Amino acid sequence: MLTKFLIPLLLIQLVSSSKNDFIFKGFNATNLSLNGVAEITSDGLVQLTNNTANAVGRAFYPFLLPFKNSKAKSASFSTTFVFAIVPQYKDISGHGMVFAISPTKQPLGSASGPFFGLFNDSNSGKETNHIVAIEFDTSRAVGLGDIDANHVGIDINGVRSLNASSVAYFDKENKPKRLNLISGNPMQVWVDYGAKDMKLDVRITPIGLSKPKIPLVSSKVDLSSIYLDDMYAGFSASTGDGTAFHYVLGWSFSLDGNAQDLDISKLPSVPRQDTTQKGPNILTVVLPLVAVILLLVTIAVSIVIVRRRKKFAELLEDWELEYGPHRFTYKDLFKATKGFKEEHLLGVGGFGRVYKGILPSSKLEIAVKKISHESQQGMKEFVAEIVSMGRLRHRNLVQLLGYCRRKGELLLVYEFMPNGSLDKFLFGGKKKMLGWSQRFQIIKGVASGLLYLHEGWEQVVIHRDIKAANVLLDHDLNGKLGDFGLAKLYDHGSNPQTTHIVGTLGYLAPELSKTGKATIKTDAFAYGAFLLEVACGRRPMVMRGTMPNLVDWVLELWKKGMILEASDPDLESDYVVKEMELVLKLGLFCSHPDPEARPTMRQVMQFLEGDAPLPVMPLDYLAASSSAYDESFDDFIMSYPSISSHTVSGSSSSQVFRQ
């Protein structure tokens, strides 16, 4: 019995010419400092890991080594060692091991797996680690940049390798020969660092072969910034799923010199694992389990596909095929708006909700308006008009990009306007950001856009809902008329046939109560209300209190010779008087109750550009405008249950309606 323990101990030798040079031909319990599951076997091997899952084992030389000299220069070093990785089951590996130079014998992190027991996910890569490691990795962590599941790498302060190569050695003819780290066979490694040329070389061969001339991995790296004055050297490994044993059979090390050669014949042997009996047992358990998992995965995937198809189901009829380029898929719009999340909501109107989105393919910013359309009556004609209006091109019109139909919803897709709607500036917290010169440019821009709609395109387009809430501002605060959800178009020279009353109270021309027909003159009336709204900083109608409507109020001030008193007090008289007078009087001119007395948008542009003087208008000529919202018109509006009143004073949104 005594002989059984004495023979291995006789194999263990320590030859040291100085504290900084040592050689181990096998080990005993006093040679190294052990940590974690690491132990010295009775045969004199360092066994870094066992079959414990997610365990870490470390074995370090117990004394500090001076890796910097008195002049704070880094020292050269040379080391060679023999190691073996023996899988518990053939060709199935856990994780590898490292040779490391570290400021501490204790792990900086307890994470096993790809961190080798040196680091963890939070500290890997930090300069404060001061660790140099050579990894022998037997698994591939793609997220850490591993090249494959069988490589040698040079690591500085973390497990993401500075340089790495698949495991191989160069024979006498300098031809590469592949090695398998988990073959269970012993391998010898040489690591050399020259402080003068700052070159770190790693070589590896099967046991018994001489040191190759060509290194497997080589990097030029200044370790003086990595080293502390005194450091420890040793080995660390982690089990991951516990399917491999990591052994060190012998080790030689030298600072500022060449490590002594290891006598391979005097090293202990690597124990072998019996894999023949356990393999079939694994298969009998694993195969049925894999079959069950595959079945469950198939069922789950099928359910997801069915739900996904239902989730993104759209209405697509044959007549829509011709509109292919203008039709968006619901799936793309869903992704663009992150599922129509509330944080992407831009606003809510009588028609529906508007969301900001970014198209996944083109990265184009868009605004998506969701409109309810439970009735299918007239849908074909409505979509045809939407597609036609998508061809409108003018710098003062928000581009309508296309549409999508799904279940009971119609989704209109517009270009995104980053500064939102004009009414937020006029009646919200951004009011003082908009000076008179900017307001005047917006007024002219909207007029230019309306002139294009009325006269400049292949068909006449009646917008039917002109108001500050539907004027959107781009990056440079240029105004663009948007929201064509209510617009109608017809051929030049023909009469519009629509009799549906749509729009917003305060902007509706009084003749709509008799004819129900929207025309370019009803657009002109709404534009007049818009002019007064921008100049006065007041909404056209206030439904509570005794405040008169905006047209009557401005007209009364004009009668008193005080029309400039109607200007927005927030402008603090910081405006061009001639321009302010022009806008206020033009607003009244456009708001005339007689549609034939209102100017066309071409005339409006001439007035605004100064190309034509505003006609002299006797005050009694405009006086009839005060009856624009008489009782008969109120009775007419009350006959339409879908029509709602304008917002009360102080609110920030207006009610839009459609029949």
pLDDT of 623: 55
Q: Name the token pair of 150.
A: 């069988």
Give the CA angle between residues 145, 151, 156 to the nearest 5°.
60
Look up tokens 């937020």; give the residue: 424
* Closest listed residue to residue 485, CA positions, set 370, 396, 317, 377: 370
- 420-659: CATH number: 1.10.510.10
CB within 8 Å of 251: residues ≥ 6 apart: 22, 23, 24, 79, 80, 81, 82, 262
pLDDT of 289: 83
* Residue bearing the bigger pLDDT, 617 or 538: 538
The answer to whether domain 18-266 has CATH 2.60.120.200 is yes
Q: Are the C-beta atoms of 14 and 23 separated by less than 8 Å?
A: yes
Model pLDDT for residues 434-493, shown as the tens digit of each residue: 899 999 999 999 999 999 999 998 888 888 889 999 999 999 999 999 876 455 544 445
Q: Rounded to whole angstroms, what are the CA distances from 555 to 100, 622, 623?
A: 89, 8, 8
Q: Mean pLDDT across the chain, nearest whole number?
A: 81
pLDDT of 174: 82
Q: Among 187-201, 382-396, 524-538, name the one with the lowest average pLDDT.
A: 382-396
Q: Rounded to whole angstroms, what are the CA distances from 223 to 63, 77, 81?
A: 20, 11, 21
pTM for the full predicted model: 0.49
Q: Are the C-beta atoms of 464 and 389 separated by less than 8 Å?
A: no
Report the greatest alpha carbon distance in the chain. Answer: 129
Look up tokens 């409108």; give the residue: 392
Architecture of the CATH domain 312-416: 2-Layer Sandwich (3.30)
pLDDT of 12: 43
pLDDT of 13: 44
Q: Among 125-134, 240-249, 511-520, 647-656, name the one with the lowest average pLDDT.
A: 647-656
Q: Name the token pair of 391.
A: 């061809």
pLDDT band at 431 (very low <50, low <70, confident <90, very high): low
CA dihedral 174, 178, 182, 184 (to 10 degrees): -60
pLDDT of 444: 97
Pairing of strands 163-166, 151-156: antiparallel
Q: Is the pLDDT of residue 262 over 90?
A: yes
Q: Is the pLDDT of residue 341 over 60?
A: yes
* Residue bearing the bigger pLDDT, 60 or 71: 60
* Active-site annotation holds for 256: no
Model pLDDT for residues 101-130, shown as the tens digit of each residue: 999 988 776 666 688 888 887 888 888 899
% of the chain surpassing 70 pLDDT: 76
Q: Are the C-beta atoms of 229 and 63 separated by less than 8 Å?
A: no
> Taking the chain, what is the end-to-end CA distance rounded to the nearest angstrom?
103
pLDDT of 5: 43
Query: Cα–Cα distance between 311 and 238 in angstroms, integer?
Result: 45
CB within 8 Å of 280: residues ≥ 6 apart: none
| DSSP code for 657 | B
pLDDT of 566: 95
Query: Cα–Cα distance between 453 and 391 in angstroms, integer?
Result: 12
Host H or E run for residue 472: strand 471-473
Model pLDDT for residues 466-483, shown as the tens digit of each residue: 999 999 999 999 999 987
Q: Where are the domains of the chain?
A: 18-266, 312-416, 420-659
Q: Is the pLDDT of residue 419 over 50?
A: yes
Query: Cα–Cα distance between 652 and 253 in angstroms, integer?
Result: 79
Q: Are the C-beta atoms of 482 and 471 separated by less than 8 Å?
A: yes
Contacts 24+ apart (CB under 8 A), 163-172: 163/217, 163/218, 163/219, 164/135, 164/217, 165/216, 165/217, 167/136, 167/204, 167/216, 168/204, 168/216, 169/203, 169/204, 169/205, 169/206, 169/209, 169/212, 169/216, 170/212, 170/213, 170/214, 170/216, 171/212
Q: Is the pLDDT of residue 532 over 60?
A: yes
Query: Cα–Cα distance between 189 and 420 in angstroms, integer?
Result: 67
* Residue bearing the bigger pLDDT, 21 or 70: 21
Phi, psi of 64 (to 5 degrees): -70, 145
Query: Cα–Cα distance between 35 and 40 in angstroms, integer?
Result: 11
Q: What is the mean pLDDT of residues 181-193?
A: 95
Phi, psi of 403 (to 5 degrees): -150, 170
Q: Is the pLDDT of residue 592 over 50?
A: yes
Question: Using CA of residue 620, residue 621, residue 622, residue 623, what is the dihedral sign?
Answer: positive
* Residue bearing the bigger pLDDT, 64 or 52: 64
Model pLDDT for residues 152-174, shown as the tens digit of each residue: 999 999 989 999 999 999 888 88
- Helices marked H in 278-409: 278-311, 330-336, 379-389
Q: What is the DSSP string of 232-278?
A: EEEEEEE-TTT-EEEEEEEEEEEESSPPPPP-GGGSPPPP----TTH
pLDDT of 318: 53
pLDDT of 451: 96
Most confident of the ranges 26-35, 143-152, 557-566 = 557-566
CB within 8 Å of 182: residues ≥ 6 apart: 85, 86, 87, 91, 93, 138, 150, 244
Tell me the three state secondary structure of residue 363. Answer: coil
Most confident of the ranges 12-26, 274-288, 309-323, 402-416 = 402-416
Q: Name the token pair of 477.
A: 């605060």
Q: Are the C-beta atoms of 151 and 165 separated by less than 8 Å?
A: yes
Q: Name the token pair of 560.
A: 């008193």
pLDDT of 403: 82
Phi, psi of 621 (to 5 degrees): -70, -35
Q: Among 4-8, 49-53, 462-466, name the one with the lowest average pLDDT.
A: 4-8
Q: What is the mean pLDDT of residues 317-321?
A: 54
pLDDT band at 658 (very low <50, low <70, confident <90, very high): very low
Q: Name the token pair of 52.
A: 């414990």
pLDDT of 284: 62
* Closest listed residue to residue 393, CA positions, set 423, 415, 370: 415
Q: Which of 21, 465, 483, 568 is catalytic?
A: 465
Q: Name the token pair of 275.
A: 């894999």
Q: What is the mean pLDDT of residues 178-189?
A: 94
Q: What is the mean pLDDT of residues 79-83?
A: 97
Residue 245 CA to its chain's centroid (Å): 43
